Amino acid sequence: MKNYPDLMRRRLLTVLALFPLSLPQFSLAAGAACSSDTHFDVNRIVALEWLPIELLLTLGIIPFGVTEIANYHRWVQQPKLPVSVLDVGSRTEPNMELIQYINPSLILHTTGFGPPVTKMKSIAPIMGFTFNDGSGKPLKLAKQSLYRLATHLGVEDRAMVHLEQYKQRINQSKQRIQVWRDTPLLLFTLLDSNHVLVFGRGSLFQEVMNDLDLENAWIGHTNFWGSATIGIEQLAIVPKAQAIFFSHGNDTLFTQVQKTALWQALPFVRQGKVFIQPGVWFYGATLSAMRFCDLLESAAGVQA
């Protein structure tokens, strides 16, 4: 690659040398070849946003390269990415020179997010996905996206098996967390010392909660993504709720906030109704939804 720094070149070549040893091989005999191209290499797919990463992993395919691995493990957390996966830069501005150099077989992206489509197309075939289409049903859209990707890669059977497993998981959780059937749940994470991100109408969590017959305590405004950035003081308008805080490596900040008079005055805090749970990706797909179920069960004291 022209003018590519020697240090970066050496690191990249080291990573590339390790790939055949560390990545699970996708069996073409099991129908893994792309339906439109018999030479399609499913082991060289690059995903530029965390939604398509999740879709790939759901189908049992390890991406060749992804964006912001450190932040992925902070915000998404599960499923973990193998150490062999290559980091190709930020989600908004990935390293297109590096991506061109590693020559991916397919680039997956989130529509309207990241580099221009024309730039991606100049490197490899692309496939775009969206978290929300305005319908307020991101989970339904995620299921459609999963099957569309599976069809493109020739692994529709994997999508069908997973979606059946998802349905069973929802039914299982619905029985396990009946203790909260009449208790509104307030779902949020901390953004800074004064603001939280709360989830309500139109969110992935809301759609899952609908399936679980659970009530969301936040009935205030939400944006296109089903979330809202609000001041901590606005949580005081929720008179009765079981609060669940999702931690994303911000435990120290949360500890500081818990010491403030404002926090201690919140109704659900005074009532001792706050559970702290590990992070889950708010804008994901079915794996995120299943992890959300796991965390709800954990907070409810359900034994696995």
Of 158, 177, 201, which closes a domain? 158
Mean pLDDT across the stretch 125-148? Answer: 92
Q: Give the pLDDT confidence score for residue 88 in this predicted structure.
A: 97
**Pair (65, 120) in one structural domain:** yes
Per the structure, the count of domains in the chain is 2
Residue at 127 is within a domain: yes
Mean pLDDT across the stretch 148-171? Answer: 96
Query: Residues 19, 22, 28, 34: what is their CA dihedral angle, to the nearest 10 degrees?
Result: -50
Q: pLDDT band at residue 181, thresholds of 50, 70 and 90?
A: confident
Q: pLDDT band at residue 303, thresholds of 50, 70 and 90?
A: low
198-213 residue pLDDT tens: 999 999 999 999 999 9
**Pair (153, 201) in one structural domain:** no
Q: pLDDT band at residue 7, thresholds of 50, 70 and 90?
A: very low
Q: Give the pLDDT confidence score for residue 35 in this predicted structure.
A: 36
Residue 77 domain boundaries: 6-158
Burial class (CB in 10 A: 0-12, 13-18, 19+), 14: exposed
Q: pLDDT band at residue 136, thresholds of 50, 70 and 90?
A: confident
DSSP string, 142-179: HHHHHHHHHHHHT-HHHHHHHHHHHHHHHHHHHHHTGG
**Pair (151, 12) in one structural domain:** yes
Bridge partners for 189 per DSSP: 197
**Pair (119, 142) in one structural domain:** yes
**Pair (38, 127) in one structural domain:** yes
Q: Is pLDDT at 111 greater than 50 in this prediction?
A: yes
Residue at 136 is within a domain: yes
Place of tokens 């709360």: 198
Q: What is the CATH number of the domain that holds 109?
A: 3.40.50.1980
Of 116, 135, 158, which closes a domain? 158
**Pair (109, 232) in one structural domain:** no
Q: pLDDT band at residue 159, thresholds of 50, 70 and 90?
A: very high
Mean pLDDT across the stretch 178-193? Answer: 92
Of 102, 130, 158, which closes a domain? 158
Residue at 304 is within a domain: no
**Pair (94, 135) in one structural domain:** yes
Q: pLDDT band at residue 133, thresholds of 50, 70 and 90?
A: confident
